[in-house]
Structure 1
Amino acid sequence: MPHNQKQQAMALKYKLILAHLFLFAFIISVSHCDENVPLVNGLNRSSFPSHFVFGAATSAYQIEGASNLRGKNIWDVFVSKHQDRISNHSDAFVAADSYHRYKEDVSLLSGLGFDAYRFSISWTRILPTGRISGGISARGVRYYSALIDDLISKGIQPFVTIFHFDLPQKLEEEYKGFLSQKIVEDYANYAELCFRLFGNKVKHWITLNEPWTYTTMGYAFGKFPPNRCSNREFGSPDTRCLYGNSGTEPYVVAHHLLLAHAAAVKIYREKYQKIQGGQIGISLVTQWFEPYDPNSQTDVDAANRSLDFMFGLYMDPLFRGAYPTEMVKYVDKERLPTFKPQEAAMVKGSYDFIGLNYYTAQYSQDIPCDKSQKNYLTDSCVSLTYTKDGKPIGLQSGAGWLYIYPKGFYKILVHIKEKYNNPLIYVTENGVCGHNEWDKPFDLQRVNYHQKHLTELRRAINDKKVKVKGYFVWSLMDNFEWLDGYFLNFGLIRVNYGNKSLKRSCKASARWFSNFLQKSGSPNAANVC
């Protein structure tokens, strides 16, 4: 190489090295200083309506700990029995210890500028046996009362989930929980107790979190408790079940979840809503489904069918009192329950708002139906994939199931508006995970994820007039992520599980949200992180 070319090459190399060093220094400085992470595209709180609510979300089992101060639930028993199925053999018996540290967590919420906090009540913390006849725990009631009071004192609205996967073990043992219609009465009584105890201060109730996840993971795949599915022999032990039927039980459980939800809403509307002045809804999770071949009508139909089997399974009964037409067409009538006239009337319209949990998207492709298979997982006759022609639908996160596809967020919001008469919506969960983030404070992917999803949310509100009234980040803090234990981290707040100190500290995403939520004269993340 000629001497002058060598000099040019060395100069270019030197510039590249300097550029990398500058970038590295920038990353380190942002992650360790008290400066806010800069906003992009002019996106901030004022980009949304004046009364729009911004919050963060958690659930009782995933953060509270203090399992010795409540009755057992199905997750307690499952984790104790199958700890080998949880990443790093971890458990949630202490978790983030928010039961004892709730004041610290509320202060973080307030300091970051959030308007609301979505949390769940542990059924067995106030009813140790699952029933009022088994006694009400005064200690549990005091805990939630104190949490609610602390939130309100700091100007934070409580959004309370009544059931988030943690079914009382006693009810599972007695009559198999949501497989039995007996659960409807027990759940309704528990919900009414919540209304009576806390309803004067709680103005937003969520009956159920992600009934699809509870149903599918517990009764189709069988990976969550109660660990029921059809598979008896294939794969590793954690994919097999001793009991269950993936062709019938997911539909039965979904049916009873809907009836339990509707029964609770009926009680609230008839006895409490007018006096307490609150609203009640349900949180449904769904992916967005793109047709594998957008020019193929069969794939377009498959994508719509995928939505019906995930979202429509719950939303169609809530909207019109019946299961999706395509689902009725594809599932044998002896396997798909039907609503009695009075049940249909009770379920139809049983929401003041819909909570939407959105994370990711997949491609959906039509495939021939295998009539020999009687399984919820195959009934829709679709093949789902995250890749097309070797390319993923979006960047992969720390989880194998979560590919980042912000456009899907916009599309599902517009779909709900157009198909279900533009209901009032709160986005009750939206977030992305890394793994082992205890020593990784600069979570750039999470910052980017929320920027892009909030941009799509703004577009849906402004361009399509979708009635979204609030947005909740999943999650406020790193927590027990079910089978993934503490390996996957969704939090804005880092919790040090590594040395068991459980010390809270802000990631870059927390600083970004503090900047995003900044109001004139309000504190910023430098005061709390």
Structure 2
Amino acid sequence: MEFSLSTLLTSTRLLQRSIGIFFFTLILSLCSIESTVIVNVTTAGYKLGLEVPNAEIEGSPNKDGKGQSDWEYQAINFPDSIANSSKFLQGIDSYKRYKGDVKLVKKLGVDFIDYLLLGLEFFQGVDHYNKLINKLLKKGIKPSVTIFHFDMPQSLEEKYGGYLSHSFVNDLKDYSDFCFKTFGDRIKHWVTINEPKILSLFGYENGWAPPGRCSLPNMGCTRGGNSSTEPYIAAHNLILAHAAVYKLYKEKYQEEQGGEVGIALNINYYEPYDSKSLEDQAAAKRLLDFHLGWFVEPIVFGDYPKSMRELVKDRLPIFSEEQKVMLKGAYDFLGINYYLSSYAQNSPNSRVGVIPHHAVDALALELDSKIGVRLGYPETGGYPNGLRKLLEFIKEKYQDPIIYICENGVKENENSRPREESLNDLYRITFLLRHLNAVNKAIK
């Protein structure tokens, strides 16, 4: 069995440490200049790379005219909603130290890096990213760009309600137009939006992320909201925004620039809790519809999954016929962010006595263990076989798309170990090797 999974990038989240050393959490990826980088792995026929979300590493939140993001607003005004009450002020100070960072990345032997472009409101921000892109290319490192990775300008949240407004679609299209025109002569890989599901659910169902809107009890609701409808409205506009950006690039830039455009989606794989139960098997399929199909089916087939239409009913927005035409085929590749899998158990009474919302709409429970045993490898976490099955599922159901694995990895729980001990990183090496092996099986 052959996959059109032509490239595998290992994405690396640069976690903080502001002393001249990058502390990498390795992740399988190809998405975001947020910072994705590629390394040749000739024996397997795919490539490895790095991903770096700029909000986590750059610092300098007020430098060169950059406006306040919704995350910065959240951290300042609702500090209890952010772990350790962090303020996004410094990261590893990469905005100022990018030249040294590029040298360190080059030492790793990588040849592709993925960044998010921030602070383009003023010429100084444009100048910074031009210098960064040119320096990467000079070092033989191919930059990739994620246009939108979580950082909504707070001014747009206040002006028209962010993702809840169709105005976001037009604004992201205009912003992308500027990015394509300014950097497209050198950038050949574009991700429109990273993890729209997180933006929709964490921002509007449980309030764990900006703008903190929700109506469920005992959640992170800070600014009102409606957990039954707003996640679906936000997702609807994010999907339309992706398609509008794709259409723009295809019609105006692709022939001349020769790049590709896709979207990055975070997804678990779901195994039936009882593998012999037809009800649990159906529940697993519904969860894949509600988490993966929610965003993939509109851009592959032109509409939401049938199961979502049947269960969510009029809370799920409708695409016009014109929008369906724009949506269908609006991708050159699909980016997948995979970390773990869950068990799926049929739960026909999930919505009884609760506010209807996405977490219960599929009438299925997501469980991470069975009889006290976690799914996958308990010593390192993760379920590599789930990644293999997910790739095979996408290939078979969604017309064999090109797939980039944008994120995969495991966090380090112990941050106080000496550097030498930390570099002997068998824990994460084992995790990644198992997942690489799973991908290799899927390709073959």
The TM-score range, normalised by the shorter chain, is 0.7 to 0.9
Could you tell me how far apart the structure 1 residues matched to 2:103 and 2:343 are? Answer: 41
Residue 378 of structure 1 aligns to a residue whose secondary structure is helix
- The CA deviation string for residues 37-61 of structure 1, in whole angstroms up to 9 with x for no partner, is xxxxxxx923322xx3321101121
**Partner of residue 33, structure 1:** none
Matched pairs, number? 397
- The CA deviation string for residues 387-443 of structure 1, in whole angstroms up to 9 with x for no partner, is 101111134589xxxx41111110101000000111011111111102352535133
Greater Cα offset, 57-66 or 84-93: 84-93
**Partner of residue 390, structure 1:** 372
Aligned mate of 1:204, from 162, 170, 189: 189
1:275-354 alignment, distance < 5 Å: 275-332=256-313, 334-354=314-334
Structure 2 portions without partners, runs of 5+: 1-39
**Partner of residue 60, structure 1:** 54
**Partner of residue 527, structure 1:** none
**Partner of residue 87, structure 2:** 91
Aligned mate of 1:170, from 137, 149, 155: 155
**Partner of residue 116, structure 2:** 120
1:15-54 alignment, distance < 5 Å: 45-49=41-45, 52-54=46-48
Judged with a 3 Å threshold, the aligned counterparts in structure 2 of structure 1 residues 424 and 84 are, in CA distance, closer, same or farther, namely same
Could you tell me how far apart the structure 1 residues matched to 2:406 and 2:101 are? Answer: 19
Aligned mate of 1:110, from 106, 118, 135: 106
Q: What TM-score, normalized to structure 2?
A: 0.87
**Partner of residue 375, structure 1:** 357
Give the superposition deviation at 1:300.
0.5
**Partner of residue 417, structure 2:** 439
Give the superposition deviation at 1:283.
0.5
* Counterpart contact for 1:219–1:229, Cα < 8 Å: yes
Matched, 1:414 2:392: yes
Could you tell me how far apart the structure 1 residues matched to 2:70 and 2:149 are? Answer: 12
Could you tell me how far apart the structure 1 residues matched to 2:189 and 2:379 are? Answer: 31
* Counterpart contact for 1:230–1:241, Cα < 8 Å: no
Q: Equivalent pairs: percent with the same residue?
A: 41
**Bigger radius of gyration:** 1
Matched, 1:243 2:221: no
Q: What TM-score, normalized to structure 1?
A: 0.73
Could you tell me how far apart the structure 2 residues matched to 1:202 and 1:185 are? Answer: 22
**Partner of residue 404, structure 1:** 382
Structure 1 portions without partners, runs of 5+: 1-43, 128-136, 463-529
**Partner of residue 359, structure 1:** 339
Give the superposition deviation at 1:230.
1.2
- The CA deviation string for residues 480-529 of structure 1, in whole angstroms up to 9 with x for no partner, is xxxxxxxxxxxxxxxxxxxxxxxxxxxxxxxxxxxxxxxxxxxxxxxxxx
Could you tell me how far apart the structure 1 residues matched to 2:352 and 2:256 are? Answer: 52
* Counterpart contact for 2:81–2:220, Cα < 8 Å: no
Judged with a 3 Å threshold, the aligned counterparts in structure 2 of structure 1 residues 71 and 311 are, in CA distance, closer, same or farther, namely same
Aligned mate of 1:217, from 190, 202, 223: 202
Counterpart residue type for residue 155 of structure 1: G
Give the superposition deviation at 1:108.
2.0
Aligned mate of 1:423, from 397, 401, 409: 401
Give the superposition deviation at 1:449.
0.8
Counterpart residue type for residue 344 of structure 1: K
- The CA deviation string for residues 10-43 of structure 1, in whole angstroms up to 9 with x for no partner, is xxxxxxxxxxxxxxxxxxxxxxxxxxxxxxxxxx
Aligned mate of 1:157, from 116, 139, 142: 142
* Counterpart contact for 2:211–2:223, Cα < 8 Å: no
Could you tell me how far apart the structure 1 residues matched to 2:47 and 2:377 are? Answer: 28
Counterpart residue type for residue 188 of structure 1: K
Counterpart residue type for residue 365 of structure 1: Q
Judged with a 3 Å threshold, the aligned counterparts in structure 2 of structure 1 residues 271 and 452 are, in CA distance, closer, same or farther, namely same
Give the superposition deviation at 1:103.
1.8
